[in-house]
Amino acid sequence: MAVSRALRRFWRTYSTVSSERLRFCIVGSGPAGFYTADKILKAHERAEVDIVDRLPTPFGLVRSGVAPDHPDTKIVTNQFSRVVQNGRCSFIGNVSIGISISLAELRELYDVVVLSYGAESDQALGIPGEELAGIYAAREFVWWYNGHPDCRNLAPDLKSSDTAVIIGQGNVALDVARILLRPTSELATTDIASHALAALEESSIRKVYLVGRRGAAQAAFTAKELREVLGIKDLFIEIQQADLSKTPADEEELKSNRIKRRIHELLSKAATSAASVCSPGKKELHFVFFRKPDRFLESDCRSGHVAGLRLERTILKEDAGSGRQIAVGTGLFDEMECGLVLKSVGYKSRPVDGLPFDLHKGIVPNVQGRVLSEASGDALVEKGLYVCGWLKRGPTGIIATNLYCAEETVASISEDIQRGLVTSSSGLSKPGRDGLLQLLDSRNVKIVPFGGWEKIDSEEKRRGSLKNKPREKLTSWQELLEVAAK
């Protein structure tokens, strides 16, 4: 394992310090990171925990992923703030693993490193035309309206077309549809980014199509999210009755899943109660089942821009391996015009140097959070290295899912500590936080401590109060860092 000269110097400086403390570093300050920190602090009185994040702001997808009109979901940040205010815990923002510091260096500095940095990339469809302008990952669009500094300049064109297609039928797809269709007067009192609100106020998008490969019985969203989008006032809903018919396999699938059964009931009720004709001026939400994208179509009058897509009709067949019903193409195609496409087909985690990674599954190979040296075969456990959250299990579940995920990882850590598999065999204490801060300072990395975030938080709330909003988010890297440093 390569270690920098600077790190060796810090090691010599701190190697004589008492080894009473166990030093933990958690990379990623979303729910998985904070739940892990909380569990560690409660389980180990000797623990000192540093939560490192590439952003100057904590809370991960609670800040940048949860929809602005879901304020109750964000209340969990109060709990996370209490965790980091523990005297044995710290937040260190604006530190990017692989750029500011390597994974190998973190492992030399800390007894335990837990990676929980989630999934900040996207699955590709891999079909022709995917590079056309006007096609975005739903993640990018969500980050744009949530004020994430990486996507503040996304500037999706909402004026040139009245039709948007969302590929995917999970909760993120419903979030995006709701933001496009909900009256902006209702969004104006949320913490939505101002640049997004201004664009939505001038938006020409009136029709939104939610496209899924499988049927209503297999839709991946939750009943709560579905009820919310169906409840948008003055919204025309279209669901084809034929798409709601159930095969014996569907009946079997629904019988064993109460949530799926409730979703099918809600869709059936919406289809029955919907007006047969959409009145002028109303916005429209169309659920399109049994279709998969085949290719994107380029505009004849706007070179390089999407003008629609070709969809292949599908049928369901049982997969012998999993027993699930999977969508299979029929060779029959339809075309749909649109000027905006949002792909909501899954997030993808990114590997970093020195980290074993299963490219096929998009996760770090692990057993109950313990990182394995290889994805298969007689893999060895990487001493002192663990994962939690989406990096561990894939991009699935809700915020609370990370609580149970963290409990499992921390149980593995505790077991390894009891067995003496974590601490250095030399008995020398690792530098931990002091070594990290000195190494970052030597590289001129301007860290943002939790006190810096509190300044950002205070300024956002102050600006929000002037507009009758809970907060007015700072959306540029420069402004975030300037405010944090005041």
Q: Is 247 helix (H, G, I), strand (E, B) or coil?
A: coil
Shared domain check, 402 and 361: yes
Per the CB < 8 A criterion, the answer to whether 214 and 316 are in contact is yes
308 in a structural domain: yes
Q: What is the arithmetic mean of pLDDT over 106-119? A: 93
Q: Is 238 helix (H, G, I), strand (E, B) or coil?
A: strand
98 annotated as belonging to a binding site for a ligand: no
Distance from C-alpha of 230 to C-alpha of 285, rounded to nearest angstrom: 9
314 in a structural domain: yes
The helix/strand count (H/E) of the chain reads as 18, 19
397 annotated as belonging to a binding site for a ligand: yes
Greater confidence (384 vs 253) lies with 384
Shared domain check, 413 and 364: yes
Burial (Cβ within 10 Å: 0-12, 13-18, ≥19) of residue 367:
exposed
Q: What is the pLDDT of residue 288?
A: 96
Confidence of residue 279 (pLDDT cuts 50, 70, 90): confident
pLDDT exceeds 80 at position 305: yes
394 in a structural domain: yes
pLDDT exceeds 50 at position 17: no
Cα 271 to the center of its chain, rounded Å: 31
Question: pLDDT tens digits, residue range 352-393?
Answer: 888 888 888 888 999 999 999 875 556 788 999 999 999 999
Q: Tell which of 345, 372, 393 closes a domain.
A: 345
pLDDT exceeds 70 at position 42: yes
Shared domain check, 281 and 410: no
In one letter, which amino acid is 156?
P
Close Cβ partners of 190 (under 8 Å, ≥ 6 residues apart): 68, 69, 71, 469, 470
Q: What is the pLDDT of residue 79?
A: 96
Shared domain check, 363 and 299: no
Q: What end-to-end distance do the CA atoms of the chain give, in Å?
A: 39
Confidence of residue 275 (pLDDT cuts 50, 70, 90): low
Q: What is the arithmetic mean of pLDDT over 248-255? A: 87
384 annotated as belonging to a binding site for a ligand: no
Q: What is the pLDDT of residue 297?
A: 96
Shared domain check, 199 and 268: yes
Shared domain check, 230 and 156: yes
The DSSP string of 260-326 is: HHHHHHHHHHHHHHS-SSPPTT-EEEEEE-SEEEEEEEE-SSSTTBEEEEEEEEEEEEE-TTT--EE
User: Token digits for 203?
Assistant: 């938006």
Beta-strand (E) ranges in 299-452?
A: 306-318, 325-337, 340-343, 347-348, 366-367, 370-372, 381-387, 448-449
Distance from C-alpha of 166 to C-alpha of 209, rounded to nearest angstrom: 6
Per the CB < 8 A criterion, the answer to whether 103 and 22 are in contact is no
389 in a structural domain: yes
Shared domain check, 260 and 341: yes
101 in a structural domain: yes
171 annotated as belonging to a binding site for a ligand: yes
366 in a structural domain: yes
Give the residue numbers spanning the domain of 305.
124-345
Q: What is the arithmetic mean of pLDDT over 218-230? A: 92
390 annotated as belonging to a binding site for a ligand: yes
237 annotated as belonging to a binding site for a ligand: no
Distance from C-alpha of 242 to C-alpha of 246, rounded to nearest angstrom: 9
Distance from C-alpha of 396 to C-alpha of 405, rounded to nearest angstrom: 11
Q: What is the pLDDT of residue 236?
A: 92
Q: At 23, which helix (H) or strand (E)?
A: strand 22-27
Question: pLDDT tens digits, residue range 54-94?
Answer: 999 999 999 999 999 999 999 999 999 999 998 899 999 99
pLDDT exceeds 50 at position 16: no
pLDDT exceeds 50 at position 12: no
Q: What is the pLDDT of residue 322?
A: 74
High-pLDDT (> 90) share of the chain, %: 73
Neighbour count for residue 413 (Cβ, 10 Å) = 29
Distance from C-alpha of 7 to C-alpha of 55, rounded to nearest angstrom: 23
Q: What is the pLDDT of residue 1?
A: 38
456 in a structural domain: no
Q: What is the arithmetic mean of pLDDT over 127-156? A: 96
Q: What is the pLDDT of residue 375?
A: 57
Tell me which of 148-152, 250-254, 377-381 is least confident.
377-381
Q: ∠ CA 411-413-419 to the nearest 5 degrees? A: 105
Tell me which of 33-37, 160-164, 376-380, 421-425 is least confident.
376-380
Per the CB < 8 A criterion, the answer to whether 300 and 252 are in contact is no
Shared domain check, 385 and 340: no
11 annotated as belonging to a binding site for a ligand: no
Q: Beta strand pairing status for 112-115 and 22-27?
A: parallel
What total of structural domains would you count in the chain? 2
Shared domain check, 337 and 277: yes
Q: At 210, which helix (H) or strand (E)?
A: strand 207-211
280 in a structural domain: yes
Per the CB < 8 A criterion, the answer to whether 342 and 181 are in contact is no
Distance from C-alpha of 208 to C-alpha of 205, rounded to nearest angstrom: 8
169 annotated as belonging to a binding site for a ligand: yes
28 annotated as belonging to a binding site for a ligand: no
Q: Is 485 helix (H, G, I), strand (E, B) or coil?
A: helix
pLDDT exceeds 60 at position 2: no
Q: Tell which of 345, 373, 390 closes a domain.
A: 345
Distance from C-alpha of 342 to C-alpha of 344, rounded to nearest angstrom: 6
| Average pLDDT of the chain to the nearest whole number | 90
Q: CATH number for the domain including 220?
A: 3.50.50.60
464 annotated as belonging to a binding site for a ligand: no
Shared domain check, 45 and 104: yes
Q: What is the arithmetic mean of pLDDT over 311-316? A: 94
Q: What is the pLDDT of residue 440?
A: 97
Q: CATH number for the domain including 99?
A: 3.40.50.720
pLDDT exceeds 90 at position 147: yes
Q: What is the pLDDT of residue 13?
A: 39
398 annotated as belonging to a binding site for a ligand: yes
Cα–Cα distances (Å) from 469 to 61, 81, 185, 204, in that order, read: 20, 21, 12, 25
Confidence of residue 482 (pLDDT cuts 50, 70, 90): very high
Shared domain check, 231 and 329: yes
High-pLDDT (> 70) share of the chain, %: 93
Q: Tell which of 325, 345, 365 closes a domain.
A: 345
Confidence of residue 425 (pLDDT cuts 50, 70, 90): low
pTM, 2 dp: 0.91
Shared domain check, 158 and 295: yes
pLDDT exceeds 80 at position 11: no
192 annotated as belonging to a binding site for a ligand: no
Question: pLDDT tens digits, residue range 324-358?
Answer: 888 999 999 999 999 999 999 888 788 888 888 88
